[in-house]
Amino acid sequence: MTAPATLDKQAGRPPLWRDVRVLSWTFQLAVVGLVVLLVSWLWGNVQSNSDRLNIDTGFDFLDQPAGFPIPGSDFRNNQPISDAVVEGLLNTIRLAAAGLVLATLLGVLLGIARLSGNFLVRTGAKFYVEFVRNIPLLSLLYLIYLAVILTVFPRPVDSWTLEGLAVLNVRGSHVAWFDGSALALIGIVVLGMAAAWGVGRWRTTVAERTGQPARTALFALPVMALIVAAGWLIGGYTLNRPELDGNRVSGGIEMTPAYLGALLALVLYTSSHIAEIVRGSIQAVPIGQGEAANALALSGFQRTWHVILPQAMRIAIPPIGNQYLNLMKNSSLAAIISYGDLTKVTELGVANRSPAVPAYALTLLIYLGVSLVISLAVNIFNRRLALVER
Amino acid sequence: MTAIARAPTAVVVPVPGPVPRALTWGRRNLFRTPIDGMVTIVATVIAAYIGYRLFQFVFVTGRWDVVRVNLSLFLVGRFERNELWRPVVAVLAVAGYIGVWTGYSRTRTTAPIPATGAVIANPENPTTLGGGAAVIGAVAQEPPPPSADEASEVDDEGATPVERAVDMLGRLWPLIAGVLLLLSLATTGTPWLVAGGTVLAAGGGYLLGRFVPTRALLVVATLGLIVAAAYFLWVDPFNWLGVPSSVGKALGVIAAAAVAATAAGLAFVRRIPAALVGVGLFGSLALLILLTNAVGWDDWGGLMMNIFLAVISIGLCFPLGVLLALGRRSKMPLIRIVCTAYIELFRGVPLYVLLLMAGIALGFFVPSSITPGLVTRAIAVFTLFTAAYVAEIVRGGLQSLPRGQTEAAQALGLSAVRTTFFIVLPQALRNVIPAMVGQFISLFKDTTLVGGALGFLDLLAGSQAATRQGDFRGQGLLGETIPFVMLLFWVGSITMSRESQRLERKLGVGTR
């Protein structure tokens, strides 16, 4: 079997025009050259057009006073544009983060409802998902904001009140919130979760050693509740309820109509997509897994929680991560209804003599950065959950 | 022992005796447990309430006059009313073409041919069993059909016409319901004429494709193309794009002649599907010229504009996406880096911001002598953006393909290009049809962004414009117009999604 090798030796290297490596690199360099040419042509055009119109192509505009207010924010006209961009990014994050949490909760609920044994629940969830998934997000946003919030919501005097939990009217909505440092509260909750996780580990070890039921939730949840309650009391947190006082609402946290509209639209739309993913992932778990759980006489809850869901989650995480990315990117549509997010700030800035190309380039880069952070987080989470092959 | 004693509760015990089926069904699906029963009762109340309110809204309180009066605004926007025959001709032509394909594929594919050029040893199809030569032969003789209608229709062969009609109704009911809704809202007879004409064209095309000899069919098509070429010689097809008249005419005629010759030639050597595809490709170009000639495309609007933007962008982004996917999977590092950078860049930014940027900043990227129209800008953005997503979907398909396929093709001595286009891509693309159609649906839905970003009067923007004019101003009619627009988009999306599921079943994705 050495014949080919000998032949190879005799022939030596092929001529240049038939050498695969030479051809490959020539082709690659040609393509890269074309790309470089295209980019430099585009950039040259930007330069010459900007020179002609006497527009700056650098990022100096960021230090100039903005000269425009941001809707729904206490941003002042004379603050620099860089502050406006930061405020816009924060608004985007406020919208996307709240949307992400709510869409996940509603989506998982709907996805499970889609597989319910109850005909009415199953069909209702199906109607909802199949309708909302197949309409444009923007139409939903217009419907909720223009046709519901701005049309149906009452004047401040006749606000809808929900027994101290929420006050809704056309000017803005107030929801009960807490007084005190949000960051510290998050820290307390994280501490509680860590403690619960530790307790869970301890219960699992005990269960594995003794064979007794682990009853993780029974031990871990009270620990967590205890820590959070203690933190709430020690930190001096109080619940701040919104109250209607004639024309004005005091207390609680205020959501502008644009924020509420954008949040509702994003949550409803994304949850319908997440519901489909959850349903598909649960159905993708081999049917034998559920049957095996039945054969082991696991209860319905145990079957779902310990057998089906962990395997379904593994399938569902990457596509749900994609939905998170979509939600974050779709939050830019809130600019259409004048929510002061990053997109709106850029639009306002460009309308107020910021140079268009660098301003939009910066916005795109920021969105790209946020996307990368989200996909990084999803990837890390996914890797932790991934099946460890033998 | 308790565990064993508990086991039977998890098993559904069949109900013995003559219990009515509805009762069994109800017990299983509505009242399995006490909690379930309570849920059912609550859900019934809620569903009844929602149903009642919906009924009230649709038939009693809804003020649908605004939709009735502005129907043409919703459908075609501010398109020149005297030129409306152009889109009508386009609709009829497309219907006829689809009819011809359907009729053709129903009669001519009784013998199942391999739907793709897969190198497989298929025990049910002896022609692919004879080793490499037969496989290459099959590949060479029957290039992978571009349309699914080519795949064997064995499943509903022998169904009576009534059964087929019922099947059609079950398949396309959202579309049929949507068209009937539009017709019921029409105030003039024209929409009825157009709808009737469309049905006639589709039926005529079907009969033509089914019963006329294929040669004759192709002669008719070629004649049509020659007529089109003459038409392009007469009019100046691209003047609105700023191309010199002589160049535009020459381009039109050369394209027409070339494609007509190709179609005729392919028909002569019995490559009928390929010839039909050629006719389709060229026909769509001809329709594009017909639609835009003397009208341009910057005054389009309504549903027509949404469909047009989606169709053009799909047509353009698909090849680009496939190339990007191949590039990202390439062994050449520089190509891979370029393609990966492009894909990740476009997937990480919002479409809406890109559209805004196209409206304001695109002018900076081209020489000042060129000022692309807004529709051109929108198409460019949709194409570049969706191509990145298509590339990722195709990459998934490429990765799902067993290595053995490529290795077998190489072992048979196929060149890299042939391996890619005849072995790898047909199978990879077949595997990703649902994801791809899903992406196209979201492109169709995303065309609504042009209203907000570039100020077009598309279907969704029309829903607001309608409430701002004449007698309807200030009456809060958005609650009627937006749901109507939603319904139209729903019809389009759900039809695409159902057809893609059907296509998937027909091609047997996941079953072989």
Q: Where are the domains of chain A?
A: 81-176+247-385, 178-240
When pLDDT is cut at 50, 70 and 90, the band that residue B157 belongs to is low
Kindly report the average pLDDT of chain B as a whole number. Answer: 78
Least confident stretch, A106-115, A181-190, B113-122: B113-122
Short-list B66, B344, B173, CA closest to A367? B344
Q: Cβ contact (<8 Å) for A151 and B479?
A: yes
What lies within 8 Å, CB to CB, of B413 at 6+ separation is none
How far, CA to CA in Å, does A50 sit from each of A57, A358, B361, B367? 7, 11, 11, 11
B128 burial via Cβ count (<10 Å: 0-12, 13-18, 19+): buried
- Across B18-27, B277-286, B360-369, which has the greatest mean pLDDT? B360-369
Mean local confidence (pLDDT), A358-373: 94
- Secondary structure in 3-state letters for B454-501: HCCCEHHHHHHHHHHCHHHCCCCCHHHHHHHHHHHHHHHHHHHHHHHH
> According to the model, what pLDDT value does residue A88 have?
92
Phi-psi bin for B415: left (phi > 0), alpha (psi -120 to 50), beta? beta
CA atoms within 13 Å, Cβ hemisphere of A48: 10
pLDDT tens per residue across span B118-152: 444 444 443 333 333 333 333 333 334 444 443 44
Lowest mean pLDDT among A120-134, B69-83, B440-454: B69-83
Question: What's the mean pLDDT in B96-125?
Answer: 59
Token pair belonging to A257: 């109509």
| Euclidean distance between CA atoms A346 and A360, whole angstroms | 7
CB within 8 Å of chain A, chain B residues 470-509: 476, 478-479, 482-483, 485-486, 489-490, 493-494, 497
DSSP code, position B154: G
Three-class secondary structure assignment of B23-91? HHHHHHHCCCCHHHHHHHHHHHHHHHHHHHHHHHHHHHHCCCHHHHHCHHHHHHCCCCHHHCHHHHHHH
Bridging pattern class, strands A248-250 and A243-245: antiparallel
Q: Which residues of B touch A18 (CB under 8 A)?
A: none
**Beta bridge partners of residue A253, listed in sequence order:** A175
Helix (H), strand (E), coil (C) string for chain A: CCHHHHHHHHHCCCCHHHCHHHHHHHHHHHHHHHHHHHHHHHHHHHHHHHHHHCCCCCCHHHHCECCCCCCCCCCCCCCEHHHHHHHHHHHHHHHHHHHHHHHHHHHHHHHHHCCCCCHHHHHHHHHHHHHHCCCCHHHHHHHHHHHHHCCCCCCHHHCEECCCCEEEECCEEEECEEECCHHHHHHHHHHHHHHHHHHHHHHHHHHHHHCCCCCHHHHHHHHHHHHHHHHHHHCCCEEECCEEECCEEECCEEECHHHHHHHHHHHHHHHHHHHHHHHHHHHHCCHHHHHHHHHCCCCHHHHHHHHHHHHHHHHHHHHHHHHHHHHHHHHHHHHHHCCCCHHHHHHHHHHCCCCHHHHHHHHHHHHHHHHHHHHHHHHHHHHHHCCCCC
Give B-chain residues touching A143 at CB under 8 angstroms.
478-479, 482-483, 486
Contact residues for B503 (Cβ-Cβ < 8 A; gap 6+): B148, B433
Label residue A178 by pLDDT band (50, 70, 90). Answer: confident
End-to-end Cα, chain A, rounded Å: 36
Cα–chain center distance at B56: 35
Q: Which of B220, B203, B227 is nearest to B98 (CA)?
A: B203
User: What is the C-alpha separation between B154 and B111, in angstroms, rounded?
Assistant: 9
Asked if residues B321 and B391 have their Cβ atoms less than 8 Å apart, the reply is yes
Residue in chain A nearest B336 by alpha carbon: A28
Q: Tell me which residue has tokens 């050693």.
A: A209
Q: Residue B500: how many CB atoms within 10 A of its CB?
A: 19
CATH of domain A81-176+247-385: 1.10.3720.10
Alpha carbon A3 to chain centroid distance? 61
The pair of structure tokens assigned to A38 is 């295209």
Taking CB atoms and an 8 Å cutoff, what residues of chain B touch A140?
A: 486
Residue showing tokens 């200030």: B474
Instruction: Retrieve residue B214's tokens.
Output: 């294929």
Of B353, B463, B494, the CB nearest to A367: B353
Q: Cα A373 to the chain's mean position, in Å?
A: 11
> Is the pLDDT reported for residue A181 higher than 80?
no
Residue A110 pLDDT > 90, yes or no?
A: yes
Which chain A residue lies closest to B494 (C-alpha atoms)? A134
Asked whether residue B241 carries a pLDDT value surpassing 80, the answer given is no
Distance CA A110, CA A104 (A): 10
Place of tokens 């009937």: B180
Confirm if A306 and A215 have CB atoms less than 8 A apart.
Answer: no
Phi, psi at A107, each rounded to 5°: -65, -45
Answer whether B303's CB lies under 8 Å from B310's CB.
no
- The segment with the largest mean pLDDT, out of A11-15, A153-157, A316-320, B149-153, is A316-320
Q: What is the pLDDT of residues A193-217, one digit of tens each?
A: 999 989 888 888 888 888 887 778 7
Cα separation, B72 vs B59, whole angstroms = 22
Interatomic CA distance for residues B437 and B426, integer angstroms = 16
| Segment holding B300, helix H or strand E | none
Mean pLDDT of all residues belonging to chain A: 86
Q: Is B452 on the interface with A (CB under 8 A)?
A: yes
The complex's ipTM works out to: 0.86
Q: In terms of CA atoms, which chain A residue is nearest residue B497?
A: A134
A160 beta partners? A168
What is the reported pLDDT for B16?
57
* Among chain A residues, CA nearest to B345: A368
**Do B453 and B355 meet the contact criterion of CB atoms below 8 Å apart?**
yes
Q: Indicate whether B392 pLDDT > 90.
A: yes
To which residue do tokens 């296509």 refer?
Answer: B503
d(CA A288, CA B450): 48
Question: In terms of C-beta density within 10 A (0-12 exposed, 13-18 middle, 19 or more buried), how is residue B119 classed?
Answer: buried
B40, B352, B364: residue with CB nearest A333: B352
Contact B453, B352 (CB under 8 A): yes
Q: Does residue B309 register a pLDDT over 50? A: yes
Contact A332/B353, CB-based, under 8 Å? yes
The tokens describing B132, both together, are 């490499």
Which residues are CB-contacts of B421 (< 8 A; sequence separation ≥ 6)? none
Q: What is the per-residue pLDDT for A245?
A: 77
CB-CB contact of B431 with B405 (8 Å): no
- Answer left, alpha or beta for residue A236, where phi above 0 means left and psi between -120 and 50 means alpha: left
Q: Which of B10, B44, B448 lies at the smallest CB-CB distance from A139?
A: B448
Residues forming beta bridges with residue A245, ordered by sequence position = A248
Distance from CA of A134 to the nearest CA of B (A): 5
Summarised one tens digit per residue, pLDDT across range A13-67 is 778 777 888 888 888 899 999 999 999 999 998 888 888 888 877 888 888 888 8
Q: Which amino acid does the sequence have at B335? A: I
Nearest residue in B to A57, CA atom? B364
| Residue A364 pLDDT > 90 | yes
Which chain B residues are closer than 8 Å to A151 by Cβ?
A: 476, 478-479
Cα A29 versus chain centre, distance: 39
Give me the mean pLDDT over the B398-402 stretch. Answer: 87
Long-range CB contacts for residues B200-204, cutoff 8 Å, separation at least 24:
B201/B92, B201/B93, B201/B95, B201/B96, B201/B99, B202/B95, B202/B96, B202/B98, B202/B99, B203/B99, B204/B96, B204/B99
Mean pLDDT of B37-48: 89
Cα–Cα distance for residue pair A28/A40, rounded to 1 Å: 18
Cα torsion at B371, B376, B379, B380 (round to 10°)? Answer: -30
CB of A368 closer than 8 Å to CB of B345: yes
- The count of other CB atoms within 10 Å of the CB of residue B165 is 11
How near does any CA of chain B get to the CA of A147, in Å? 5
What interhelical angle do B333-347 and B374-400 show, nearest 10?
120
pLDDT above 90 for B153: no
What is the least distance, in Å, from the CA of B63 to any CA of chain A? 14
Between B128 and B28, residue with greater pLDDT: B28
Could you give phi then psi for residue B499, rounded to 5 degrees? -65, -35
- In chain B, pLDDT over 90 holds for what percent of residues? 22
B288 vs A: CB within 8 A: no
Among A28, A45, A357, the residue with its CB nearest the CB of B334 is: A28
Check whether B450 has a pLDDT greater than 60: yes
CA distance A223 to A191: 11
Contacts with A121 from chain B: Cβ below 8 Å: 39, 43
Q: With 50 as the cut, is the pLDDT of residue B365 above it? A: yes
Mean pLDDT of B153-175: 74
- Please name the residues between 9 and 68 in chain B that touch chain A, using a CB distance below 8 Å: 10-11, 28-30, 32, 36, 39-40, 43-44, 47
Within 10 angstroms of residue A171's Cβ, the number of other Cβ atoms is 17
- d(C-alpha A252, C-alpha A389), whole Å: 50
